[in-house]
Structure 1
Amino acid sequence: MVASGSNRSALTDERGEFALRGLPSGTYHLDLVRIGYASAHQVVTVASSGSDVRVSIVMHVATVRLSSVNVTATPTGSDPLDVTQATVQLGGKELQRALSTSIGQTLSKEPGMAARFNGPMASTPVIRGLTGERVLVLQDGERTGDLSSAAADHMNAVDPSSAERIEVIRGPASLLYGNNALGGVVNVISNDIPTSIPTKASGYLLGQGESATPGGVGGVGLTLPLGSQFALTARGGLRDFTDTRVGGGAKQLNTSGSTQNFTVGGGYVGTKLSLGGVYRQMNFEYGLPYDAGDDHDHDHDGEEDHEEGHGHGRVRIDGLRRVGSLQGTLNTGVTALPTIKVDQTVQSYRHSEIEESGEVGTRFNLSTQTTNITARTRFGRAAGALGVQGIFRQYAPVGEEAFTPAADNRNLAAFVFQEFPITRNPDADHAPRLQLGARYDRFTIETNPGAEAERFGAPRTRNFDNMAGSIGLSVPVAEGVSLSANASRGFRAPAVEELYADGFHAAVGTYDVGNPDLKAEQSTGLEAGLRAQSSRVFAQFNGYYNRIDGYITPVALATPVVVDGEAVPSVTFAGRDAVLAGVEGQVESKLVHHFVGGLMGDYTRASIRGSDDVLPYIPAGRLGASLRYDNGRVSLGGDVRRVFAQDRVTGDELDVATDAYTLLDLNASWLFTLAGRQVHSVTLRLDNALDEQYRDATSRIKRFAYNPGRNIALVYKVLY
């Protein structure tokens, strides 16, 4: 159960009862979620007298995909029908049908989304053609503090198997998150800090095995109440797999990997004050696909001989991410300012790139500290939030192959968001709503070249100031149907790699030369959409136009650079005005008896304004259809997606055209309950059933590496 407006969640006991203590007076949207059931929604008003409020909610078996609360899209939380941007939530059966080795692959089937494939571990989300520094990945609302946005061979240091659900904003989200959110936001929600106290111990067990990335995943979680106001959480997981099998049965060597993660958290929930904290740690190790050259034969097993090769060879990445987070919420008792939430996160991330010889080529060290203070507001009919944010990063690459200087970032920001119901009843559910927001950012980057001053120059400082804003309108047109539109203005400051690089970038096989005169990207986004959901239909259609002034893109230089005796392409970076426009849609409907059918599609067109040039690595258009039998307990079905050829490419050595292909996925699931409380879910999947050999247009290594082939996956999860 999730209470939007407070970002609080609770688990029911075996009788379906729950309690949320210490809520200030006001109006809340309760959303209840249970695997196999339609999410239930109810508006509840907590009186200023402080008396208890009791509610009774009936849930029904569901076979059509339905979304519940989306707390990522607005600072107060909101029902999807009231959100003015395209959102998606993946949880329950939908999450288990999609669960993969990375966040990017897990989300890649969703409309408007793809994955920047660089092996099974380093596969990060692409939203409407944007990725890297333009897509922000969060865990429980906090930046992940890794280096996945900096290079294609760096992974998101969050295991998707730890997620209770994943929320996505498709489109600019600079208002709430500032830098790095021009394309959208992905929030992996684990609820590691308890915000309510369960009546008894609860948790989960998870097991998963796959054949395309042969190996398995094991996970366990526990939430333990300590009295009526304290609770502890503990989670742990292991993942281990060998080299990926691509279409046709060949192996992509050096793509094995493993992760180990654990989490310990605790929380106090009082009437006036709630406090909580969590410690997370993730160890990871994986290999990078590489170009073995075209002059090697396949062996008798259909596997390529990769003993010799060009490029960066058999590189392995070995790393560690540590996170400590504290948060507190104060119920003020003041109507105009009912709650103030403060959170502080400290992260330490490092990884080493280990050469085939066993030597460490480069060590990357990143420390990140974030501070957020957010206050919910209520002024007459307007409800919203205001806040201040601080993000501080210290980045230090060390080694002969480090191609950027060390650098420190500071981002200080303040924002305000207000939602106005356009109705005489301000608490009416799904009334027309106007959403307004503004944000100011001050972003600073300082280089610390140290002993590398001869190569990278003297220390330099750049400041970027920006004012962002948004306006959105949501209008219900029928029961469970709403129209929305929004306009937004955002920015992205250049990264240290784009400003000050000077060296060989092994992830993409180029020698990069930074441009210290780059300006910040300025985005103007327009979007309109329709959303509908009921017990029989779920649908969402959106059209968007995103104009980015000063879009930073690599530009090939005329003269290659010799690295270790081999000539490699050299690039610099330039800011050019770009336009990304497209459409995306999805509909799922109950047909006859227990059969559910669906359609999906998306298309993005991206160009440099005023020229014939295109943006690189843009996903190809897709059309798909699905059909399944689903009685709420047993589900059998599949989906097929036709991905069209992508020939709108730059045509350089890396961004090459890709052919069309068809993917057929089949799945079966069984949901059952034991002992009146344990919910067991078993999912069997056959991904890429036709064993198609294909390359994604978004992949940085598509010139020489294929995506995974036929995959048999078994996922088992028990909630208790």
Structure 2
Amino acid sequence: MRRFNPSSLMFAVSVIALTGAGAQAQSEPEDVIRVTSAPLETRADEVVGSVDVVGSDELVRNLNGNLADTLENLPGVTSTYFGPASGRPIVRGLGADRVRVLINGLGGLDASSSSPDHAVTAEVIGAEQVEVLRGPAAIAYGGGAIGGVVNVMDGRIPTALPEDGLDGFVYGGTTSVNDGTQVAGRVLGNLGALVLQGDYQRREADNFEIPGYAESAALRELEHGDEHEEEDHDEHEEHGDEEELAYGEVENSGYTFETGSVGASIVGEWGFVGLGYKQTDASYGLPGHSHAHEEDHEEDHEDEDHEDHEEEEGHAHGEEDVRLELDQKRVDLRGAFEREGFFNRIRWSFAHADYVHTEFEGDEIGTVFDKEGVEGRLEVRHQHGGPRQGAIGAQMLTQEFNSAGAEAYLEPVVTQDWGLFVAERWDFDRWGIEGGLRYDTRNLDGLRAERDFDTVSGSVSLFARPADGWFTGITLSHTERAPTDAEVFSNGAHVATRAFEVGNLDLGTETAWSGEATLRREAGRFSAEATAFYADYDGFIGLFPTGEEEDGLDVFEYRQEDAALYGFEAKFETELGRVAMFDLSAEATADYVRGELDNGGDLPRIPPLSGTLALIADHRLVSLRAEGRFVAEQDEVASFETSTEGFALFNADARITPFDEHDVAFIVGVRNITDEEARLHTSFLKDQVPLPGRSYRAAVSVRF
């Protein structure tokens, strides 16, 4: 198996990037939001396609544990939700390798895309902003990002001089539903052109409370022949049934995440060059995920004392709670150089990470996942004068993934990716055209085989401004995605997905033709945006049941089927006027996606129609918000899925900024006011783990 040397590659990229040093800066437009994930850093309201840019204040106000849950109100975004600790964004019904979760433009270099129980190592607290690109807007990241890109700009490498020589923030918060606490802080200071940064974050929680049974009514009926109505819970508890169902809280759902980092940059008018180191440690339970040791169980029945102890610990029938401990050490190099001339910006980034997580079954080590990876990206923007600008770039990724233990369903694999891309835009004021092209190679080197793939993805967009305040765009894209290591080399029990997964050494490239239309309207007191999309897949790679059983699990194999996904996203904001001292405004979003196989079936875990409606009242020092989140029933399901009931969740909060500078903010709020039972159809655990019940939150954020 081939090995990689990250040191030599880091040196090469650094030398290339440093050739631009010493150039003069080009002034940036003020008071506009730019999408830094896009090679051209296009203004958010000028992107052809669907994009959201969530700033730091909004992230703090909406903070809800992990990254995916914090972004839940964005149209077209939901979560894999494997409990509160582990949730990865799903965009337009697509997840795993089809959505790239980035940190400052590079991958997280964790194992979150390989299994839904693996947590994302990107944290929301302290992020400068999070950018969500959907569909063709993410073409510069290749066919592997056909669902979209979620890019967390974490601020851990300074890119500018702090004001007055010192900058930073402090955050502290608590939540009632899980006795949770969150603390975070960062400080930046400079010595001339040298800027130093250090930060620390910790969030932890106990088991979270729910309004009823952890198992859904459908699952209770299927497994127990009795819906266990809530009014009978006390009687059920008094009788001491041998198999007591979890009620009122989700067992084994507590977690602790701890992150610390240091960084240093040289900053000047020409740009910056920075280096950062981050350490992430986590320990969390996997709710609805326990292992039965049948052989040990038979022996345990012969030991009455051990059996009594087992019952006291709540592990009936020999089951052991599963807990995961995660450790990642990551080094980042970043730089950007601005200059006047044809090549007016060079931007580069590089990361190396060692990632290990261990799954414990009780006190015993079950499975160990070990991943070492290095990723780099180089972008050069060029301007031609007049309406034309463009960018060219290169990207590479090398990672080695190993697993050992009872659930080592994936053999050791080395993945090597190389990519080249170009993006060009012609803007003639009233109309314009934009195009992108990317070529990628992937090598998968496993124990049983070695596979090579070449893919080409491209898009062309036509946009127009038919009148002041209007923007329209239409895009045609062709994307190709190479299979992943798991899709090719899996072969074993994967308890997280409750399946025995079998990879396919003969998988080919997944291709898709897609179209997307966007309409935006800005008109003084209101703004609106709507996007409709359709994607036709040739050889969509998915896990499909075989009808067989292995190790007590249903066998699923990776194979390719033709499929189609289509849907829409919409959002609307308007000012309603002034009442008393408050300026009133309203926001609404809606999204829908449908996933169909050409043979007449449905794709699994596709989110149903959903939307939000919010009313905001702003005063100079106080901002009040009340919102409802509405999710429809999902009954268009795959043959091996159950349907999911719809729900409505209501939330409210107040953000108080007692000083005009808004450097200090107090946040109080309540989520799920009506204590509604809610389950995400996109979760593998939807029938075992509902969303949290009513929760009160109090937090304070200070920026200096």
What TM-score do you get using the length of structure 2 for normalisation? Answer: 0.85
| 2:384 aligned partner, one-letter code | F
1:270-317, Cα deviation, whole Å (9 max, x unpaired): 345632111111101100011689xxxxxxxxxx9953269x841100
Counterpart in 2 of 1:33? none
Is the counterpart of residue 287 in structure 1 residue 285 in structure 2?
A: yes
User: Which residue does 2:295 correspond to in 1?
Assistant: none
SS of alignment partner, residue 363 of structure 1? strand
Contact 1:292/1:306 (CA < 8 Å) preserved in 2?
no
* Alignment partner of 1:524 is 2:488: no
How far apart are 1:707 and its partner, in Å?
1.4
Q: Corresponding residue for 1:620?
A: 608
Cα shift at 1:96: 2.6
Q: 1:535–1:322: structure 2 CA closer, same or farther, 3 Å change rule? A: farther
Alignment of 1:295-334 (within 5 A): 307-308=315-316, 313-331=320-338, 333=340
Cα distance change of structure 1 residues 93 and 373 upon mapping to structure 2, 3 Å threshold = closer
2:255 to 254, 257, 280: 257
Contact between 1:695 and 1:707, CA under 8 Å: does it hold in 2? yes
1:379 to 2:371 alignment: no
Shift of residue 342 of structure 1?
A: 3.1
1:28 aligns with 2:28: yes
Q: Name 1:505's counterpart in structure 2.
A: 494
The number of aligned residues is 624
Measured after TM superposition, the shift of residue 162 of structure 1 is 2.8
Q: Following TM superposition, by how much is the alpha carbon of 1:672 offset from its aligned partner in structure 2, in angstroms? A: 3.0
Q: 1:212 maps to what in 2?
A: 177
Amino acid at match of 1:694: A
Q: Is 1:649 the counterpart of 2:637 in the alignment?
A: yes
3-state SS of paired residue (2:102): strand
What letter corresponds to residue 577 of structure 1 in structure 2? D
Q: Within 2, Cα distance between the matches of 1:683 and 1:309? A: 45
Deviations 1:436-477 (A, max 9, x none): 111110111100x3xxxxxxxx3x111110111111233223
Distance 1:139 1:292, change over 3 A: closer
Measured in 2, the distance between the counterparts of 1:531 and 1:313 equals: 53
CA distance, structure 1, for counterparts of residue 57 and residue 593 of structure 2 = 28
What is the SS of the residue equivalent to 2:145?
coil
Tell me the distance in 1 between the aligned counterparts of 2:131 and 2:48: 15
Alpha-carbon distance, 1:26 to partner:
5.1
- Give the match for residue 222 of structure 1: 187
Contact 1:173–1:183 (Cα < 8 Å) also in 2: no
Question: Could you say if the C-alpha distance between residues 560 and 650 of structure 1 is closer, same or farther in structure 2, counting changes exceeding 3 Å?
Answer: same
Q: Which runs of 5+ in 2 are unaligned?
A: 1-20, 213-246, 292-311
Corresponding residue for 2:220?
A: none
Shift of 1:535: 5.7
Q: Which residue of 2 aligns with 1:664?
A: 650
Greater Cα offset, 321-330 or 533-542: 533-542
Alignment of 1:698 onto 2:686: no
1:93 to partner: Cα distance? 4.0
**Residue 23 of structure 1, CA deviation:** 7.0
Match of 2:703 in 1: 719
**Take 2:195 and 2:316, find their aligned partners in 1: how far apart are those partners?**
55
Q: Is the 8 A contact 2:672 2:694 kept in 1?
A: yes
Q: Which amino acid aligns with 1:257?
A: Y
Aligned residue in 2 for 1:688: 672
Q: How does 1:436-447 map to 2 (within 5 A)?
A: 436-447=435-446
Report the CA distance shift for 1:472/1:305 in structure 2 as closer, same or farther (over 3 A).
farther
Distance 2:27 2:268 in 1: 19
Q: Residue 134 of structure 1 contacts residue 182 of structure 1 at CA under 8 Å; is this kept in 2?
A: yes
- The letter for the 1-side match of 2:370 is N
Gap change, CA 1:414 and 1:629, over 3 Å in 2: same
- Paired residue for 1:124, among 80, 84, 88? 88
Other structure's SS at 1:477 match: coil
Instruction: Describe the SS at the equivalent of 1:246.
Output: strand
Separation of aligned partners in 1, 2:29 and 2:432:
15
Q: Deviations over 1:118-150 (max 9, x none)?
A: 100111111110011111111111211111111
Q: Is the 8 A contact 2:49 2:137 kept in 1?
A: no
Shift of 1:339: 2.6
Q: What are the equivalent positions in structure 2 for 1:228-267 lying under 5 Å apart?
A: 229-248=193-212, 250-267=248-265
- 1:195 lines up with 2:159 in the alignment: yes
**Alpha-carbon contact 1:202-1:223 (below 8 Å) kept:** yes
Q: Which residue does the alignment assign to 1:575? A: 560
**2:621 is the counterpart of 1:633:** yes
CA contact (8 A) 2:461 2:475 kept: yes
For each residue in 1:361-401, what CA deviation from the matched residue of structure 2 results, as whole angstroms up to 9, or x when unmatched? Answer: 11111111112221111123321110111111111112232
Q: What CA distance in whole angstroms lies between the structure 1 residues aligned with 2:185 and 2:569? A: 36
Quick check: 552-561 or 124-133, which moved more?
A: 552-561
Q: Distance in 2 between matches of 1:634 and 1:473?
A: 42
Preserved contact between residue 492 and residue 500 of structure 2 (Cα < 8 Å)? yes
Which position in structure 1 is the counterpart of 2:124? Answer: 160
Question: For 1:171-182, what aligned pairs fall within 5 Å after superposition?
Answer: 171-172=135-136, 175-182=139-146
Q: Check 1:398–1:531 CA distance in 2 against 1; reply closer, same or farther (3 A cut).
A: same
> Shift of the alpha carbon at 1:480?
3.5
- Offset of 1:638 from its aligned partner? 0.8
> What is the alpha-carbon distance in structure 2 between the residues aligned to residue 291 and residue 139 of structure 1?
29
1:409 to 410, 415, 418: 415
CA contact (8 A) 1:504 1:512 kept: yes
Distance in 2, matches of 1:26 and 1:237, equals 35
- Structure 1 residues 216 and 651: alpha-carbon distance in aligned structure 2, compared to 1, 3 A threshold: same
Cα separation, 1, equivalents of 2:320 and 2:605: 23
- 2:145 paired with 1:145: no
Q: Which residue of 1 aligns with 2:352?
A: 346
Equivalent of residue 425 in structure 2, options 409, 419, 430: 419
- Choose which of 252, 260, 273 in structure 2 pairs with 1:275: 273
Q: Separation in 2 of the partners of 1:479 and 1:703? A: 49
SS of 1:507's equivalent in the other structure is helix
Distance 1:338 1:92, change over 3 A: closer
CA-CA distance at 1:534 after TM superposition? 5.9
- Structure 2 match to 1:515: 504
Query: Given the superposition, is the C-alpha separation of residues 318 and 642 from structure 1 closer, same or farther in structure 2, using an over 3 Å criterion?
Result: same
- Offset at 1:110? 1.1
The residue type paired with residue 132 of structure 2 is: V
Distance 1:159 1:375 in 2: 28
Letter in 2 for 1:320: D
Residue 540 of structure 2 aligns with which residue?
A: 551
**CA RMSD after TM alignment:** 2.2
Deviations 1:393-439 (A, max 9, x none): 1111122320111000111111111111124xxxxxxx533211111
Q: Residue 481 of structure 1 aligns with which residue?
A: 470
TM-score for both structures, normalised by structure 1: 0.83
Give yes or no for contact 2:422–2:436 (8 Å, CA) kept in 1.
Answer: yes
Q: Distance in 2 between matches of 1:344 and 1:307?
A: 46
Q: Aligned partners of 1:714 and 1:493: how far apart in 2? A: 45
CA contact (8 A) 1:291 1:309 kept: no
Alpha-carbon offset, residue 173 of structure 1: 5.0
